[in-house]
Homo-oligomer: A and B are copies of this chain.
């Protein structure tokens, strides 16, 4: 039985609270949030206590924490809890600064801490099944990966300003997915970017429509296409072409009906929100973390995975700025 503290009682905190309490091998003991009513709501619903972060860190009845606080607190909290001997599941990203992530992971290593990072898409049943086919050898050697990732709509510009930019905020999921599917480290990054959706995003110094090419040392390749707008819903697809075949995971929609009439055959739009699209993935990543703490499987993706995804984002930023292919070693230092 893994005893949990939850740090952060916002939107994603609620998702993780549900996942923890729904797992027979875990128990939610305490929740902390700067906003008292948010913490209380979770405590009431699941019958756990409200505590301060420091109290949770010091508690003998807490084995692990889920960090869902604002991004700029992640690295500090990881260090604090790892030092206290707690296992840590942290929402991505660890930090927007590669240097800060490195020092944080140094602390984790030094204390032999357990750190799992929330790249939830690896746990989507469809993407996971596609990766499992690759692992089984169904498609032979992986050669070319195609990742399409488009949001129904752009977040507020205020959010974008603090997000680290589209590559670090949105494409970072696709960088991790590319690594998950390629099965070999990426060495080269080339990106193009434009503002096509909303000029305000451009004024904020960011892009809303980007495409990226990736390459590994042996020549395996991947492409990513991102847009901050898709009228037809949350567009999330992968396709992997290999020497013996191909595997694809298609888009998901809430209901799969089809209406036929004189206009043609119409299926409903896709999910319009990442939390309904990835409901099962959120539950599965927490279950994986819990199982790993119980000795079954690994608590992965790790902090190192978070570091590399961020480095790929930094490389993409540099590639756009300089109009050239950027080697990962250039940004990793």
Contacts and interface: CB of A to CB of B under 8 A. Distances in A.
A252 B268 CA distance: 15
Contacts of A128: 255
Interface string A177-212: 000000000001010101111000000000001010
B231 A213 contact: no
A263 B255 CA distance: 14
Contacts of A229: 243
Given A261-B232, A268-B129, A269-B262, A227 B250 contact: no
Interface stretch (A29-37, A61-69, A215-223): A215-223
Interface stretch (A72-80, A88-96, A140-148): A140-148
A298 B248 CA distance: 40
Interface string A100-125: 00000000000000000000000001
Contacts of A38: none
B144 A209 contact: yes
Contacts of A263: 266, 269
Nearest to A142: B196
B231 A261 contact: yes
A145 B193 CA distance: 14
B247 A196 contact: no
Nearest to A215: B192
B221 A139 contact: no
A265 B246 CA distance: 9
Contacts of A256: 126, 249-250, 252
A223 B221 contact: no
B223 A223 contact: yes
B257 A130 contact: yes
B146 A254 contact: no
Interface in A250-282: 250, 252, 254-269
A302 interface: no
Interface of A: 125-126, 128-130, 133, 138-139, 141, 143-144, 146, 148, 150, 188, 190, 192, 194-197, 209, 211, 213, 215, 218-221, 223, 225, 227, 229-232, 235, 241, 243-250, 252, 254-269, 323-325
